Each structure stands twice: as structure tokens, then as C-alpha cells.
Structure 1
Amino acid sequence: MTLKGALLGLALAYGTLWGGAQVLAPAFGRVPIPCTGEPLRMQSPLFCATLRNFVTPELRALARDAAATVAAQYPGTVTLALDGNLPVFDGVPLIPHLSHDDGEKLDFAFYYMDDTGTYLPGRTASPIGYFAFERVGTDVCGDTAGPMRWEMRWFEPLTRDLALEPARTAALVRALLDDPRSGKLFLEPPLAQALGLDHPRLRFAGCGAARHDDHIHLEL
């Protein structure tokens, strides 16, 4: 087989897998977060290409409603989703997220602004939406951090020098938490305090889990 033939075969296999996932996902109780459009879409086409943008219908509706709420408060706002779940049955984790295994978890990117304070629609400090840690205040874990609490210092040169846009980020967190369909939301305590956020369902994931000062984690 020639290289061209092999590549064509791989492309056809991938296309079949991707298309089949779109058709079969509803049978597993999964629907996709849109890859394009406003006010809610995935942060990058990569999430869609790798089938990481699936959630339950209830969670998608919650995410859409929260994005619409923020856009109503701040016209032109685009809310970017990150990892959701795979379009398969419950119990299959979305590596490296061990908890993203039932369609009821979804991560959101922060909103960002430039050095003049101008909001940047559809832009994130990290090219993948993760690992651009805010590192506000003192690390609550210190020497007690577990192996999953990655610092990712090596990734910092790949991030953009953008500032977190606090008003929109706080508005999204409030919209998600105020929705009765939400279960809990993870955010690092120093960042939550800096944003003026306090809610019974706002939680700290713990020192044994991943950091949550680079993204928002929501669960039904």
C-alpha cells in the first residue's frame, strides 16, 4: 500500500468514526456542545475533532442558558467550553479527567482581556484553554499537593500574556451556580475570593485533584 493510500484509509476510518459518534451519541444520552457559533461554543475545533464535546441534554441546556445570561449582561460575550465527555456509555473517563465519565461534567474557559482592559471575545490565555493558572494569593495546598495537582511550569512559555476578565468570569460562575440544575462547581478558593464569589455549591476540589484556577469545572 502506498503512503497516499494509507493516509486515505486513515482519513476514511476517522470520518466513519466521527460521523458514527454523532449518530450514536443520543443512544448513550449524549449531545454535542456546538463547535461554532455564539454565545456558546467549544474553545477549539480540537475538542470536537477528538469527540470531547459531549454532555447530557440537561447539561447542554444549562450551559447554553448560562452563556445567554452572560451575553445578555455583556453583549458580544462568547462563552467557551472545554472538556465535556465522550459520546459513549457511563463509566468511560475522559483522560486525564477521571470524573468526566457520565456526561454530567463540563469545563469552561475563563474570559480574558488585553492590557487596556478590553474584553477579547473567543480568546484564551492558553492555546488549549487549560494550564494558564492565575495563581492568586498563596497556594492553599503548598507541600500537601497530590500528584494530580499539576503545576505545568513547562507549559507557561506557550501561554499568552492576557489578563482574566473578572466581571464576565464572575457572571458566568454566578449564572451556573444560580441554576437549580447545577450540582457543584470547582474553583480555587483564593480566586473565588478575589472574584467576590460565595455560594453553597461553590467548592474546592481538594489538594489531591487538579487545580481550578485556569478553568471552571461544573457538575450536575
Structure 2
Amino acid sequence: MHFFRLFFRCFIFVVLTILTQIGGMAYLLSLFATRVMGMSRFSARILVFLLFYAAATFLANMAAPAFGRVPLSCFAGEGDKMMVRSALYCALNRNYVTPRMRDLVAALSEDMDEKFPGTTTVVLDGNFPFIDGFPLLPHLSHADGRKLDIAFYYKDADGYFVDGVTRSPIGYFAFEQPRAGDEQPCEGRKDIITTRWNFDWLQPFFPSYRIEEQRTGFALQWLSTVGAKQFGLEKIFVEPHLRNALAASGETIRFQGCRAARHDDHIHIQVR
């Protein structure tokens, strides 16, 4: 029984650390606190953990700049032109980037709204607050604060732009499927070890929004020109069929490879 309890606690520690980076440590501290205070009720233990986790998240916001990272705010105001897609990203500490990346996405969102008034730029996964090389699963490269995913801009079934909305509730896995004749470098491959998941069973559950071509195309072109020149952007990952459809060009626009996740549900950017 004792061994099972120890194994279970180790498992919880590992899972929380993988998911949030700081959650495992908050869990250990909560175990110590509840033992000292003699708390045995499950609800009390959960509450203590949540308090420790909230405190750790707050302290991470304060301490991250010392490690070269800053949080993107999940509390967008009325006048803000950029928003994190879901508070879940902040709750899991996945909203951290370098100051250069923060400045880049802020400038992109301002220029997008100037070009297309009433446009909000939606961002997705960034990085954890601490330690270069700590993996942000399931991503292969979000481990140093220099990477950020940006959602596509969408229009509804009638062709009208929908602001601050994505097809997927979290911004991922709602793919823009290539058409017959489109460039598909991974067609026919059957890699065993891969994160290029298609989730065909999931696609019918998403609304019938489609990419808003003008805004998404402008964003890609802005990133490959202004972003590269002024903010040190060095890589943009997007699927070839979308790059072609949006007439986006530039040496920074690349294909991520066939073992990495699909990039026809979001745009991945990276700065130096």
C-alpha cells in the first residue's frame, strides 16, 4: 500500500511537471503542508495544492524576466489588439516568450489592426517560464522562449471575418486540408515515430470557418519582411499548400518536415 501511494505521488509529480513545469514542485510543497497541518480530507488537499500552484504561477510571472522570458497576458483589454486564445495557456504556464518575441507579436497585432481595423491577433502556445531545453510537449522546439504559435484569421461560412475566433477551442488540430494537386511533401508517408497527427475523426466537430486569406496572407508577408528585418525573425513554419494559396514568399517561410506537427492549423514563428 505504501509503495502504491509513493508510486502514485511520483506519477502525479511527473505529470504536473511535464504539463506546467512548476506544478510538480507546487504539489510536493502542498503534500508537505497538508501533512504538517494534519489535513486528510481530499478536498482540503486539493485546495491547498491549488493555493500553492496559484502562488507559484504568480511568482513565475515575477521571476521569469530574470531568465530572459516575459508572460503574454491572458487578460486582454478592450483596446488590446493581441490576445492569448485561452486562459488555459496561462494556467499551464505556456504563455512565456523572450522580450523580442513579445515586441514582435505586439507590432504585428498593431499593424494588422491598422491595415484591417477591428482585427485581433490570437496567439497560442509559447514556452514555459524557466530553463532552456525544457520541453513543451507535444511541440518539438518550444523550449527556449524564442518560439510562438499564432492562430490563423478566420471567416465564417458566409465569408465574413470573425474576430478573435478560431475553429478549434484551443486553436489547434482544425486543419485546412489540401486539395487535389496541392503540394503535399508528406503524402504517402507512414512514419511510425511522428507528431504529424491528422485527427480525421475530429474534423467534423469543428465549425465551418475557413482562413481569411487577406489577413492571414498579410500576416505571413509582414512576418517574413518587417518581422525579419526589425525583430530578428528567422523561421516561419506553415504547410506548403497554404504558403502557395496565400501567395506568401520569403526565405524565412519554411516547411517544418514530415515528423513534426502539421502547420495548416496555425503559424509557427521563431526569433533569434
Question: Quick one: which of 66, 86, 91 aligns to 2:128?
Answer: 86
Question: Aligned ranges for residues 46-195 of structure 1 at < 5 Å?
Answer: 46-137=88-179, 138=182, 139-144=184-189, 146=191, 147-178=194-225, 179=227, 180=229, 181-195=232-246
Report how far residue 5 of structure 1 moved: 1.4
Question: Quick one: which of 85, 90, 103 aligns to 1:43?
Answer: 85
Partner of 2:249: 198
Which 4+ residue blocks in structure 1 deviate beyond 3 angstroms?
Answer: none
CA contact (8 A) 2:140 2:260 kept: no
Question: Quick one: which of 9, 21, 24 aligns to 2:60?
Answer: 21
Higher RCO (CA < 8 A, seq sep 6+): 1
- Give a deviation string over 1:79-98, Cα, whole Å, max 9, x none: 00010000002111111112
Identity %: 42
- Give a deviation string over 1:152-202, Cα, whole Å, max 9, x none: 123224422211111111111112111222101011111110011111111
Report the secondary structure of 2:188's partner residue: helix
Taking a change above 3 Å as real, the CA distance of residues 145 and 73 of structure 1, as seen in their structure-2 partners, is: farther
Which 10-residue stretch deviates more, 187-196 or 3-12?
Answer: 3-12
Question: Quick one: which of 208, 211, 217 aligns to 2:262?
Answer: 211
Normalising by the residue count of structure 1, what TM-score does the alignment of the two structures yield?
0.95
Counterpart AA for 2:111: T
CA distance in 2 between partners of 1:170 and 1:129 (Å): 18
Report how far residue 206 of structure 1 moved: 1.2
CA contact (8 A) 1:82 1:107 kept: yes
Normalising by the residue count of structure 2, what TM-score does the alignment of the two structures yield?
0.78
CA contact (8 A) 1:109 1:216 kept: yes
- Give a deviation string over 1:133-167, Cα, whole Å, max 9, x none: 10123432112253221111232244222111111
CA contact (8 A) 2:95 2:128 kept: yes
Which 10-residue stretch deviates more, 41-50 or 137-146?
Answer: 137-146
RMSD over equivalenced CA pairs, Å: 1.3
Taking a change above 3 Å as real, the CA distance of residues 108 and 87 of structure 1, as seen in their structure-2 partners, is: same
Taking a change above 3 Å as real, the CA distance of residues 157 and 9 of structure 1, as seen in their structure-2 partners, is: farther
Report the secondary structure of 1:9's partner residue: helix
Taking a change above 3 Å as real, the CA distance of residues 3 and 39 of structure 1, as seen in their structure-2 partners, is: same
CA contact (8 A) 1:35 1:42 kept: yes
Structure 1: which 5+ residue stretches go unaligned? none
Report how far residue 63 of structure 1 moved: 0.7
Partner of 1:9: 48
State the aligned residue count: 220
Structure 2: which 5+ residue stretches go unaligned? 1-39
